[in-house]
Every structure is written in C-alpha cells, then in structure tokens.
Amino acid sequence: MMDRRELLHRASMLMGGTISASAAAGILAGCAATPWVDGPTPMGPTGNFLTPLEMATITSMADQIIPKTDTPGALDVGVPAFIDRMLAGYYPQRERDVIRTGLAKVNADAKALRGVSFSQLTSDEQVELMKRYDREQYDYTRANGSANPPVPPHPFRLVKELTILGFCTSEPGATKLMYYNQTPGPFRGDLPLSEVGKVSAL
C-alpha cells in the first residue's frame, strides 16, 4: 500500500530516535508542509497565540534558520504567522507550553548577555545563542527521542522544525527551492539527478 509503504519508509528515519514525538506524529500523518504567505489564508493570517515579544523572537529565529538569499527565506513566506497558527490551532497545550517557556528562556538569556531582548541582539549574537540551543536540542532529542511515554520536545527543536515545515510546504518554498509537480506523468525510475535538478517537494 503506497501510504503504508511511505509510512514505513518515513518511520525508518524515526527509528534512530532522532526526531521528536510531535514531529513523528506529523510526519506519520503525512508530512510536507503549507503556504504561509502573510495575508489572508484559509486560517487567517495568524493564530493570535504568541505575544508581540514572542512573535518578535520567533521572527528573528526563523530568519536565522532559513534566511533570504537569492531565493525567498522564512520571513518571505510568512513562517512566524504560520508558527503562531500551528500553536493556536494544531498543537495541544503541551507544545504551547514548551514554546512559551522556551521563548521566555531565550529572552532571559539575551537579557543576561546584553540587557536586551533576543530580537535586539546583533545577528552574530543571535547565531551564537542559537548554536548553543541547537546543540542542546540535538543532544536532548538523541537522548529522549525514543522515550516512552514520549517526552516534550525541546523548544528550539520545535521552532526549527516548524520553520522548516512551514517553509518547505509554502508555495515559494516548494516551487522555488524544490521540484514541485503535482501531476508528474508516468514514473521514470532511474534518471541522472541532473535531469530532475532538485529534490521533489512532495
């Protein structure tokens, strides 16, 4: 069964305990992401969950995770609003709490470092802090990824995961950075990568 096979295939990537339980649930539910262009969307522009300070923090982080280059970045496709909407409507309370507590800590760290909020740090300072969080989340996820019952995700892991998810399932992310074709035609099983060019978005 296609879907079962795909599930299994994806499950293989979960088995090393390298992915958070919430991400696993999402991926098993059929990952690939959504459009989060700011402005009216089926869900409205935001979920009104994040406070202005939290939103500013998420915005800076998302910008660092997938920056604008010669192609659109996380902010161009509306990732902060997407994250807000996911927290408001998709995730259960546990994930909301993880983010809220995590962002408070990020701003406390920024304050301790420079006496300002995270979004007011210089880009280099933001990167430095985020590298620390990235290492933490990586180690935490490795240690706890296969825990049963599942442990809450690391907050930075959740921010990073949502940024990648929101970006890669947005129309610009899927169509400009990847090969997106909903109706590819007959399957060609073995081609030089150069003939396709980029990874399939779906």
Partner 1 sequence: MQDLSQGTREQRTFDAIVVGSGIAGGWAAKELCEKGLKTLVLERGRKVEHGKDYKTFAMNPWDFRYPNGRTPQDEVDKHYPKQARTGYTVNDQWNHWFVKDDEHPYTEVNRFDWIRGYHVGGRSITWGRQSYRHSDLDFEANAKEGVGVDWPIRYADLAPWYDHVERWMGVSGTNEGLAQLPDGIFQPAMEFNVVEKSFKGKVEGTFPERRVTMGRTAHLTKPTDEQMKIGRGTCQTRNLCMRGCAFGAYFSSNGATLIAADHTGNMTLQPDSIVTEVIFDKAANKATGVRVQDGNTGKVTEYYAKVIFLNASALATTWIMLHSKSDRFPNGFGNDSDELGRNVMDHHFLAGAQADVDGYEDRYYAGRRPTGIYVPRFRNLGDTKTKQKDFTRGYGYQGGASRTGWQRLVAEMGFGKDLKDEISEPGAWTMGLTGFGEMLPYRDNRVWLNHDVKDKDGLPTLTMDVTIRQNELNMRKDMQSSAVEMMEAAGFKNVRPYDRPYAPGLGIHEMGTARMGRDPKTSVLNAHNQVHGCTNVYVTDGAAMTSAACVNPSLTYMALTARAADHAVNALKRGEL
Between 42 and 115, whose beta carbon lies closer to partner 1?
Answer: 42
The Cα 51–Cα 196 span in angstroms is 43
CB–CB of 79/36 below 8 Å?
Answer: yes
Name which of 151, 135, 133 is nearest 21 in CA terms. 151
The least distance separating partner 1 from the CB of residue 68, rounded to whole angstroms, comes to 9
What are the angstrom distances between the C-alpha of 192 and each of 177, 179, 180, 195? 19, 15, 18, 6
For position 168 contacting partner 1 by CB under 8 A, the verdict is yes
What are the angstrom distances between the C-alpha of 42 and each of 34, 87, 108? 11, 16, 35
The least distance separating partner 1 from the CB of residue 102, rounded to whole angstroms, comes to 16
Which residue of 134, 144, 150, 151 would you call a contact of partner 1, by CB under 8 A?
Answer: 134
89's tokens: 């409507």
The Cα 77–Cα 36 span in angstroms is 5
The least distance separating partner 1 from the CB of residue 115, rounded to whole angstroms, comes to 25
For position 190 contacting partner 1 by CB under 8 A, the verdict is yes
Question: What residues from 34 to 93 belong to the interface with partner 1 (CB under 8 A)?
Answer: 34-37, 42-43, 64-67, 69, 71, 73, 85-86, 89-92
Q: Omega of the bond prior to 172 within 30 degrees of 0, cis?
A: no
Q: What is the x/- site pattern for partner 1, positions 12-31, by CB under 8 A?
A: xx-xx-xx---x-xxxxxxx
Between 106 and 168, whose beta carbon lies closer to partner 1?
Answer: 168
For position 116 contacting partner 1 by CB under 8 A, the verdict is no
| Number of residues located near partner 1, criterion CB under 8 A | 86
Between 127 and 143, whose beta carbon lies closer to partner 1?
Answer: 127
